[in-house]
Amino acid sequence: MSNVQPQGEALKKAIEWISEQRRKHPDISKVKLANDAALKFDLSPRDSEFLLRFVKKDA
């Protein structure tokens, strides 16, 4: 069975996952979390770049 998600849904889940991880482990690098999320949610290169910019911008 295929685990295909609608466009944008994987990115949304990745952002939610990063938020959860930051609450649990505030000392983990945001860049590491973004890279881990890109792999975990099989993000496209474009979505991965967006996610990286998003977490770097978030103070």
- Model pLDDT, residue 7: 62
- Model pLDDT, residue 56: 86
| More confident call, 1 vs 29 | 29
- Model pLDDT, residue 8: 86
Domain coordinates of the chain in residue numbers? 29-59
- Model pLDDT, residue 6: 46
Look at residues 59, 57, 55, 58 and name the one whose alpha carbon lies nearest to residue 38. 55
Give the list of residues 6+ apart from residue 53 with CB closer than 8 angstroms, or none.
none
Give the tens place of pLDDT for each residue, 3-59.
Answer: 545 468 999 999 999 999 999 999 999 999 999 999 999 999 999 999 999 888 875
Dist. CA 11–CA 5, nearest whole Å:
10
The two tokens of residue 29 are 């690098």
Dist. CA 8–CA 25, nearest whole Å:
25
pLDDT at residue 1 above 50? no
